[in-house]
C-alpha cells in the first residue's frame, strides 16, 4: 500500500516530464515499480529507482544520473518518509517545497536547517538561511544577473510579475553534467561539474566566497573589504556609531553620518556616488521599473527618509529606480562589476537644481506591492538545464492549476 501510493505520486510527477512519458519508461497502477527495478529516461540521462544513502538501510525513491558511474542522487521523492517496512505509509508528496533544503547528513536526506530560495521583497534576491537566520544574500536581480554574478555555464532569468517570481538557470551546453549542493557539513552552496576524464565531480564554485559574504558583516552603513584588516570600515562620510566597539571589532552597531546633515538644505544634503559596492539589502526598498536615474534622484530627494538611490536594472545603460529608506544593510565591496549607488549625506552636488527640473515630472507613487509567489527551482539535485525549466513549469502548474 505504502509503496503503491508513493508510486502513484511519482507517476503523477513523471507525467509532467516528457522524457519519461513514453510507454516504456512510465509506471502505472497496473505496472508499479518494485524495489530493485529502475526506470530510465528516454534520452538515457536519468534513472529513477529505490536507493539507500550512505550507511542507511532506509529506502528512498530518487533520481540519479544514469550516464556516470558514480551514483549521485539529484532528487529524492520521500525525503521525510523513508520506506522501512510494509506497514510504513508513504503519503503523496501535497505541499510544495519552495526552497532548496540541505540533507541532514549524507546518510539521511531528511531536511536539514540550511536552505536556499528566493526572498520575497520588492526585488527578487537569492538568499541562504541557516535555520530562520539570513545567512547570505546574492544581491538584487539587475536585469542580467543576481548580484552581478554571471557564469558562462548558464543563462539566468528572473520573471517577476504580480503573480509569481520564476527563477531559471538554463544550461547553455547540454552536454555538461552539473549539480548544486547545499552542503550542511560546511555551510556552503557548491556547484559541481562532472569531469569525464577523471570520472569525478569537480568543485566549480562555492558560496559564501569569503568572510565578507555572510549577511551584514559590518552593521548598518559599514563596508566590508575582504582584503583589508580590519575588514569592516565605515563608508566615506560615515563614522562608527560606537567608536569603542568598532575598535574592538564589534561591528554590529555599524556607522552613522559623520557630518551634520539637514534635509534638503544646500551643501548639507546631497548624494555621493559610490561604485563597486554590493547593492544593500532591498527588502524594504521602493522600486519603479520605468523611472530614469534623474527622476529617481528627485524622488529620493523629496522624501527626507530616503537614504540612497540607484538604477534598478543595468540594461539599456541603466534603467528603473530603487530607493532605500532604512539604514544601508549588508554592504561589501562587490566581487563583480557593480552599478553606481548614490548615498545621501552632507555633500554638495547639483541636487537642488536637478530636483527643480524634475519636480513637475515626479509622480507621487504608492508603494508597489507585489503579491509574489515564490517559484524557485535550482534543485538540490539540479541539474540539467532541460529538467530545470520543466520543473519550474511543473511547480507553475501546481500553484496555478
Ligand X SMILES: *[C@@H]1O[C@H](CO)[C@@H](O)[C@H](O)[C@H]1NC(C)=O
Given phi > 0 = left and psi -120 to 50 = alpha, else beta, which region is 292? beta
Among 43, 54, 106, 266, binds ligand X (CB under 6 A): 106
Q: Which stretch binds ligand X (CB under 6 A): 42-50, 53-61, 231-239, 282-290?
A: 282-290
How far apart, in Å, are the Cα atoms of 319 and each of 45, 120, 230? 42, 21, 35
Among 15, 200, 266, 325, binds ligand X (CB under 6 A): 325
Say how many C-beta atoms besides its own lie within 10 A of residue 335's C-beta: 17
Closer of 72 and 335 to ligand X (Cβ): 72
Closer of 311 and 338 to ligand X (Cβ): 311
368 binds ligand X (CB under 6 A): yes
Q: Which residues of 107-143 are buried (b: 16+ CB within 10 A; e: fewer)?
A: ebbbbbebbbbbbebbbbbbbbbbeeebbbbbbbbbb
Among 164, 295, 330, 391, binds ligand X (CB under 6 A): 295
User: Any residues with CB less than 8 A from the CB of 321 and at least 6 apart, and which?
Assistant: 287, 288, 291, 292, 293, 295, 296, 299, 309, 310, 311, 312
The nearest distance, CB 196 to ligand X, in angstroms, is 19
The nearest distance, CB 292 to ligand X, in angstroms, is 7
What are the cell numbers at 169? 538557470
Closer of 23 and 363 to ligand X (Cβ): 363
Closer of 194 and 251 to ligand X (Cβ): 194
In 3-state terms the chain splits into helix, strand, coil percentages (rounded to 5) of 15, 35, 50
Q: How far apart are CA 105 and CA 183, in angstroms?
A: 9
The nearest distance, CB 186 to ligand X, in angstroms, is 4
Say how many C-beta atoms besides its own lie within 10 A of residue 187's C-beta: 16
The nearest distance, CB 321 to ligand X, in angstroms, is 7
Taking CB positions, which residue lies at the least distance from ligand X? 365
212 binds ligand X (CB under 6 A): no
Closer of 155 and 185 to ligand X (Cβ): 185
316 binds ligand X (CB under 6 A): no
309 binds ligand X (CB under 6 A): no
Among 11, 105, 183, 242, binds ligand X (CB under 6 A): 183
List the strands of the sheet with 331-332, edge to edge.
232-234, 222-224, 331-332
Closer of 189 and 384 to ligand X (Cβ): 189
Closer of 77 and 293 to ligand X (Cβ): 293
291 binds ligand X (CB under 6 A): yes
Among 129, 246, 286, 309, binds ligand X (CB under 6 A): 286
- Residues 120 and 127: beta-carbon distance below 8 Å: no
User: Any residues with CB less than 8 A from the CB of 350 and at least 6 apart, and which?
Assistant: none
How far apart, in Å, are the Cα atoms of 301 and each of 198, 235, 257, 274? 58, 20, 17, 17
What are the cell numbers at 306? 530616503
Q: Could you tell me which of 234, 207, 206, 195 has the C-alpha nearest to residue 218?
A: 234
181 binds ligand X (CB under 6 A): yes
Closer of 187 and 394 to ligand X (Cβ): 187
Q: Which stretch binds ligand X (CB under 6 A): 23-31, 120-128, 238-246, 362-370?
A: 362-370
The nearest distance, CB 286 to ligand X, in angstroms, is 5
Binding site for ligand X (CB under 6 A): 106, 181, 183, 185-186, 286, 288, 290-291, 295, 303, 305, 325, 363, 365, 367-368
Amino acid at each position: 500500500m505504502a509503496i503503491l501510493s508513493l508510486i502513484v505520486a511519482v507517476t503523477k510527477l513523471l507525467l509532467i516530464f516528457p522524457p519519461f512519458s513514453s510507454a516504456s519508461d512510465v509506471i502505472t497502477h497496473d505496472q508499479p515499480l518494485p524495489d530493485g527495478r529502475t526506470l530510465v529516461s528516454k534520452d538515457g540521462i536519468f534513472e529513477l529507482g529505490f536507493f539507500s544513502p550512505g550507511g542507511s538501510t532506509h529506502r528512498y525513491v530518487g533520481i540519479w544520473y544514469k550516464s556516470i558511474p558514480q551514483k549521485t542522487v539529484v532528487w529524492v521523492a520521500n525525503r521525510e518518509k523513508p520506506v522501512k517496512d510494509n506497514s510504513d505509509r508513504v503519503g503523496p508528496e501535497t505541499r510544495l517545497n519552495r526552497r532548496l533544503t540541505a540533507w541532514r547528513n549524507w546518510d539521511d536526506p531528511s531536511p536539514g536547517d540550511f536552505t536556499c530560495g528566493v526572498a520575497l521583497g520588492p526585488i527578487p534576491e537569492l538568499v541562504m538561511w541557516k535555520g530562520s537566520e539570513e545567512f547570505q544574500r546574492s544581491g538584487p536581480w539587475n536585469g542580467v544577473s543576481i548580484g552581478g554574478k554571471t557564469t558562462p555555464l548558464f543563462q539566468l532569468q528572473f520573471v517577476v510579475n504580480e503573480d509569481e517570481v520564476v527563477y531559471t538557470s538554463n544550461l547553455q551546453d547540454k552536454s555538461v553534467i552539473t549539480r548544486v549542493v547545499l552542503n550542511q557539513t560546511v555551510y556552503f552552496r557548491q556547484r559541481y561539474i562532472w569531469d569525464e576524464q577523471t570520472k569525478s565531480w569537480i568543485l566549480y564554485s562555492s558560496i559564501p566566497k569569503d568572510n565578507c559574504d555572510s549577511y551584514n558583516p559590518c552593521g548598518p552603513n559599514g563596508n566590508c573589504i575582504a582584503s583589508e584588516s580590519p575588514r569592516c570600515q565605515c563608508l566615506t562620510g560615515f563614522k562608527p556609531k560606537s567608536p569603542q566597539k568598532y575598535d574592538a571589532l564589534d561591528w554590529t552597531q555599524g556607522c552613522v553620518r559623520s557630518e551634520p546633515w539637514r534635509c534638503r538644505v544646500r551643501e548639507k544634503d546631497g548624494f555621493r556616488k559610490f561604485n563597486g559596492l554590493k547593492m544593500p539589502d532591498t527588502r524594504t526598498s521602493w522600486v519603479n521599473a520605468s523611472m530614469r536615474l534623474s527622476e529617481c534622484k528627485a524622488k529620493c530627494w523629496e522624501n527626507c527618509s530616503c537614504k540612497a538611490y540607484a538604477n534598478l536594472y543595468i540594461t539599456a545603460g541603466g534603467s528603473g529606480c530603487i530607493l532605500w529608506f532604512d539604514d544601508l544593510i549588508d554592504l561589501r565591496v562587490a566581487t563583480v562589476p557593480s552599478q553606481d549607488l548614490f548615498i545621501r549625506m552632507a555633500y554638495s552636488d547639483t541636487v537642488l537644481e536637478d530636483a527643480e527640473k524634475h519636480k513637475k515630472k515626479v509622480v507621487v507613487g504608492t508603494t508597489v506591492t507585489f503579491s509574489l509567489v515564490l517559484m524557485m527551482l535550482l534543485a538540490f539535485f539540479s541539474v540539467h538545464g532541460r529538467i530545470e525549466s520543466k520543473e519550474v513549469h511543473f511547480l507553475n502548474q501546481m500553484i496555478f492549476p
